[in-house]
Amino acid sequence: MKISDNDIRYVAHLSRISLTENEEALFVHQLSDILSYIEKLNKLNTENVEPLVYTTNAFNVFREDVLEKSISIDDAQSCAPSIMGVFFKVPKVIE
C-alpha cells in the first residue's frame, strides 16, 4: 500500500515527532514498503478467529489495599530535565 505525504505528516503528528522534508520522503517510501508486505495478511480469512493478545491465561491481579513503600520524590525527580519544588516543570501548556 502506498501512503501519502499527508499520511506521514498526520502519523508523525500523532507520534509527536517532528520530521524534516528529507525524513518525510524517506519514511513515505519505507513505510509504504512495509505496509505492502503486511497486506499479505489479507490473503487469510479470519472471520471466525478470535484476536489473541495475551498468550497466558491472564486474569485480574488484586492485592490488599495496604500502603506500600514507593520511591521518594527526590529519587523520582533525580533524572528530570527541569523541576520546581515537588513538580516537574514544562514549557507553557496553554497559549
Binding site for other proteins (CB under 8 A): 3, 7-8, 10-12, 14-19, 23, 26-27, 30-31, 33-35, 37-38, 40-42, 44, 46, 49-56, 58, 61, 63, 71, 75-76, 78-82, 88, 90-93, 95
* Nearest distance, CB of residue 86 and other proteins, angstroms: 13
C-alpha dist (Å) from residue 48 to 21, 38, 41, 54, 88: 43, 20, 15, 18, 48
Query: Nearer Cβ to other proteins, position 85 or 91?
Result: 91
* Nearest distance, CB of residue 2 and other proteins, angstroms: 13
Q: Which three cell numbers stand for residue 80?
A: 528530570
* Nearest distance, CB of residue 67 and other proteins, angstroms: 15
CB atoms within 10 A of CB 43: 6
| 87: β partners | 84
CA distance 84 to 78: 12
Query: Nearer Cβ to other proteins, position 5 or 35?
Result: 35
